[in-house]
Structure 1
Amino acid sequence: MIKYLLNKMLISMQKKYDYDVTYMQDILSADLSAFFKYLKFQSMAGYRGGLPAAPLYAARLRAILWDDCGPCTQLLVNMALEAGVPANQVSAIVNKDLAALPDELAQIVEFTDLVLDHNPGADDIRPHIRAMWGEQGLIAIAFSISSCRVYPALKYTLGYGKACSRVVVNEQTLTPSDKNRSVTG
């Protein structure tokens, strides 16, 4: 019965976001204990640390793009829009158009890319992140970056990974490319 109810929850998510939940259904079907571990992970992934939606999704989107998971990127785009992040900011985050973003979001986009590249230039931005959002905000950004990397790795490992080809933001089609991953420093 519990598997039935959890599967209904997954189907609801699939309908709401037009997102393929087969990998989660397969985990649920194969190992209920593993599925519960997956759900526990979701609480870390959802930690906000008092941050507004835009900085969280800036980190999440850049992290998911780094690992090139098309359906996951689209899911996060849809969730960002649902959370109230303006479409022009979502597009600028995906395209790494720093000039089109408010400074605090541009810093998070750049910081995220530097962190993912293991570039010491992130050390120069971290104090600004702390000054804007505090230690809790930095932790929320760290959790956002870290957790978003799990989903593509999990999906690719289980055979469900898809390369990112296009992302739709309010009927505008974007094609992320390697140039959007480049970092400076």
Structure 2
Amino acid sequence: MTTTVAAATTTDAVNEFVEESISKSESPRLKTLAEQTYSFSDLKSALKYAKRAHRLCPTLHGLSDLLTAFKILTTAVDNTIGATTTPHWYKILDLEPFSHINSIKKQYKKLALILHPDKNSTSTCVALEDAFKLVNDAFSVLSDKIRRKEYDMRLRIDMQCEAVAATVVGNYGGVVAMETFWTACG
């Protein structure tokens, strides 16, 4: 009986070791696949491959940086202000709207260290450069007092319009087209 338990434990350990070896060898392939998929402008699939690679081997060199870049790029695509194509700069920096300038500077420095091309000389992925440019753009808007006030005003108006639209839709149970100041004047 003891021999059977010991053999089962040994078999489980061997199976776990084999699975771990396969995972570690599969992870670089998935990372490369994510980079290639991004180069073909398929961000959604690239993020999926990078997440899978990270799940298999979270310590793979450069993978967490690549995943951060893909998340920033996805945020930029999925979050814009109102009917415009202006990205939601706070979300790109992974901050709450109207955050204090010190929080903005701190988060910018953190992301810049992760994404800066000089810090990632081993990676040739364009996604890191694209994400770095977005982070720089976000910081340039949010660190300039005048541009930030203008941006915050547009963001507040958009948030208020969303709240009103949600109330109208909630009260009437249907979709109601609403015209905002920016769409009426723009």
Give me the TM-score of the superposition, normalised by structure 1: 0.29
- Higher gyration radius (CA): 2
Give me the TM-score of the superposition, normalised by structure 2: 0.29
